[in-house]
Every structure is written in structure tokens, then in C-alpha cells.
Structure 1
Amino acid sequence: MVFVLKENMSEKLQKALTGFAAGVMVAASFWSLLVPALEQSESFGKFAFIPAAVGFLIGVGFLLLLDEITPHMHLDLTEEGPKGSRLSRSLKLVLAVTLHNIPEGMAVGVVYAGWLNGNSTITYFGALALAIGIAIQNFPEGAIVSMPLRAEGMPKWKTFLYGVLSGLVEPIGSVLTILCASQVVPLLPYFLSFAAGAMMYVVVEELIPEMSEGKHSNIGTVLFAVGFVTMMILDVSLG
């Protein structure tokens, strides 16, 4: 995206990209993760919600912990995490998007683990739909981390590299999650809802505030709906 867009990303475009990414992640959390988790827990009867609820809350707590111990910076240049860090602003921006990408990689990994282990509620095309949806919303996420660095005068090739590095955690997280989930298949509903909780934390804590504060918040809301519907269509039509 850094080679296509202008050097300065407008506030409207920033909110549009953030809203779209948030919409995709919310839909993926529900359609691709929580619904299969609930379906796989039907044997619990009226307590079928327990694995999904427990996994979801642990996922939120896990991302909350990472948010607290990792120094990072938001697009409005507000810093979070441990105080007194000597990391550069550029690296803190990259770390912020890297935190977003951890649960996305886990989500793809756990769904593919379910398919590889023959889970009847997860199909190959359902896993593929989630991977495609996450890949689509990585375009705006890449722009969100790269364009502010470009605006500060960093060369295009270097901002591109930073954007790629921020997303490298996704395939790594996917592979590790596949390996872990494949070893404890009975806990798959917990893994699915864990990934959903982690993604929802990112949406509520990071993306929604960034898309709704200040001017042009309606653009973020509209693109949120577009992203949600896009992911829903992918999951329902392919899954």
C-alpha cells in the first residue's frame, strides 16, 4: 500500500481503513470462531456456552497482558505499555500493529487445526474464507503502520519492510497454534474462542476508538459495516 498511496494518509482514509479492518475482525470472531466453538460444545447441553465463554475471556486477558507489557504507540501518537522505554517512535508503531496481528495469526491457525483434525463443524473452505478475510484486512493494517512512517520521511522500501515485519507474526502464530491445537483436540472450542476474545480486544481497545474519535467518524462506521459484511459473505458462501 505504501507504493500506491500518497505520502500523507488523510484522516478520512485512516478512519476508513481502520473501520474496515475492525468490521472484518468482528465478523471473523463471530462467524469463523465463536459459532464453531459453540457447535462443538453441544454435548454440554445447556452449559454449551462454557468453553466459548471461558476461552473468550482468557483471550481478552492475554491481549490485555501483552498490551500492558509491550511498549507501543497509536496513530494519534499516544504511547502505551511500560514507561521509560527507549524504543523509537517508528518501532513503537510497528509493535502496535504487531499486537493486532498476533490474534489474527492464532485465529487462522486454530481453524486450520480444526479442519486438519477432521472436525465436522469446520470445513476446508471455511478455514480458507477466514484466511482470505484476514489477508484482505491486512492491506489496510499494512497502510496504517507504513504511511505514518512514510510521512516522517522514511524511504518507501523501509516503510514497506516495517509493514511486512509487523505482519510476520501472523504465519508464525498460525503454525504454532496449529501445532498446539493439534495436540489437544478436545480443547479446540477453547482455542477458537480464545482467538475470538483476543481479536475482539484489539477491536474494542484499539480500532473502534481510532475510527470513531474526531471528525469523519461516520466514514469509519460505514466501512466497519462493509468489512463485517465482506467477511460474513466469505464465511457463509465458502464455509
Structure 2
Amino acid sequence: MKTALLYSLIPVAAAVFAALAAIFLKGSGRLQSIVQHLASGVVFAAVALEITPDLMERHAPIPTAIGFIVAVLALLLLAKGEQGGDPRAGKGRLPRVYLCAIAIDLLLDGFVIGIGFLGGTRQGRLLTLALTLELVALGLALVGELQERSIPTWKSFGITAVISSLLILGTGIGVGLLSVAPAWAVTAALGFGEAALLYLVTEELLREAHEREDTSFTTATFFLGFLAILLADVVTR
């Protein structure tokens, strides 16, 4: 367990450094669009290559459906709450749905790292490297989103650092509780996470990316992110 937790510090540190880079090297709308496309491709690949195959192998449709539906309903209710009231109130307010989706993503990423180290140190290391790329992209995108909402610079950095640290918690859960949790609970959690990640990609990252400068190159970065995780997954097998 100690080895898995130590390795989980690598992607967290990468996210923190990415957040600092986003603060000191303020980018254009095009750069933010590139980062959000890249993060979308990485997260989508994580869903397609890690979570979905695991759910298919479990052959448990009811827990999967329950977790998936609960996540969709919860996120839609949060989104509805954010859209209510004065539309100008978005400035200075935290994007709760966005933050919740990323938090769930990072908990699941940590969970995946924990599972990887249970399967062997080599597999855990390779998964850590793949997830480090995802956290770099998400760290950049999250700081950009918070600053666009007029959240103070260092508050944006602090929020990013705290949320990134959830990956360590997820790793601890993956290693420490996997052996005692009932199979249906793990399946429901994975179903919940899959829906949350799909929401993050389709309703948050890509929607906001398309509102900025959008070119063929920025679109290509989505596929670059997906390909990077795909190749990393191929290497681990």
C-alpha cells in the first residue's frame, strides 16, 4: 500500500506544477481550448479503456445501472441549481458541477492506481504514468476555468491542489478497501464514476472549449490525448 501511495504523489505533483504554470504563463483562449480538448481526450480514453471493460467483465447490470443513473441525476440537479437565479452570478462563484465531476474523476483515478499496484508493481507504475498526463491537462483546465469565473488567483491554485490530492485518497481506497468491499458496491461506484466522467467531457470540458477559439489543431488535441492513453494502455498489457 505504501508503494501505491508514494506513486500517487507523482500525478498530484504534476497537477500542482501545471496549475502554477497556468497562473504564471497566462495563455490565450486558443491555449485553453487546446488544454480542454486534450483533457477531454484523456478522460474519454480512461472511460473507454479502464472503466468500461472492468464493468463489462463484472456482468452485474443492476449495480452498474444504479450507480450510473444516480450519478446522472445528481449532476443534472447540481447543474440546474447552478443555472438558476441571475445569469450574471456565475462570476465569482465556484462551478460546483465541474468541481464535483473532477473530484469523482480523481478519486476513480486513484482507485485505478490502487488496483494496478494490487495487480503488480509494473502495471501500477505504467498506470501512474498514464494518469499523470491526465492530471496535467486537468490541472491546467481547472485553473483556467476558475480564473475565468474571476476566482482569485491563489484561491484557484489552492482549490486545484486540494482537489488533485483526492487522487491519493482514491489510491488508499483502492488498495485498502477493495478486499473488504462487496462486489456490488465496487460495481456501483464504477458505474457512478463512468457517468460522471462522461458528463465532465461532454457538458463541461468540450462545451467550454468550443466557446473559445476552435481550429482543426485544437480538435486534433482531443485525439492526441486519447491516443496517448491508448498507447499507454497497450504497453501495460
Residues 162, 217 of structure 1: CA spacing in aligned structure 2 closer, same or farther, 3 A cutoff?
A: same
Aligned residue for 1:74?
A: none
Cα-to-partner distance string for 1:126-157 (whole Å, 9 max, x where unaligned): 44434333322222322223235557887654
Q: 1:14 aligns with which of 32, 45, 56?
A: 32
TM-superposed CA distance for 1:231, in Å, is 0.5
Instruction: Output the CA distance in 1 between the equivalents of 2:48 and 2:148.
Output: 36
1:56/1:198 contact within 8 Å kept: no
Match in the other structure for 2:200: 202
Q: Give 2:226's aligned residue.
A: 228
In the alignment, which of 15, 21, 24 is matched to residue 4 of structure 1?
A: 21
Which of 28, 32, 35 is the aligned partner of 2:53? Answer: 35
TM-score by length of 1: 0.69
Q: Which runs of 5+ in 1 are unaligned?
A: 42-49, 72-78
Contact 1:56/1:195, CA 8 A, preserved across alignment: no
- 2:134 is matched with 137
Q: Which moved more, 1:144-153 or 1:223-232?
A: 144-153
Aligned residues: 216
How high is the sequence identity, in percent, across the aligned residues?
19
Matches within 5 A, 1:37-116: 37-39=55-57, 41=58, 50-51=59-60, 54=62, 56-70=64-78, 81=82, 83=84, 89-90=91-92, 92-93=94-95, 95-112=96-113, 114-115=115-116
Shift of 1:23: 0.7
The amino acid across from 1:103 in the alignment is I
Quote the RMSD (CA, aligned, Å): 3.6
Aligned partner of residue 81 in structure 1, secondary structure:
helix
2:130/2:232 contact within 8 Å kept: yes
- Residue-by-residue CA offset, 1:154-183 (whole Å, 9 max, x unaligned): 765443223212323332344345544332
Structure 1: how far apart are the matches of 2:150 and 2:83? 27
- The aligned amino acid for 2:56 is L
Counterpart-to-counterpart distance in 2, 1:152 and 1:212:
17
Q: Distance in 2 between matches of 1:113 and 1:149?
A: 29
Distance 2:121 2:67 in 1: 24
Q: Give 1:125 shift.
A: 3.8
Separation of aligned partners in 1, 2:75 and 2:143: 21
Tell me, yes or no, if the aligned pair for 1:55 and 1:190 is still in contact at 8 Å. Answer: yes
Q: How far does the alpha carbon of each residue in 1:98-142 deviate from its partner, in whole angstroms, 9 at most, with x for none?
A: 3232332332344345456x6xxx554444434333322222322
- Partner deviation per Cα, 1:169-215 (whole Å, 9 max, x = no partner): 33234434554433235345554444333322221222222233464
Return closer, same or farther for 1:125/1:100 CA change in 2, 3 Å cut-off: farther
* Structure-1 residue corresponding to 2:159: 162
CA 1:225/1:163 → structure 2, altered by over 3 Å: closer, same or farther? same
Q: Is the 8 A contact 2:36 2:205 kept in 1?
A: yes
Question: Which residue in the other structure is 1:182 paired with?
Answer: 179
Using structure 2 for the length normalisation, give the TM-score: 0.70
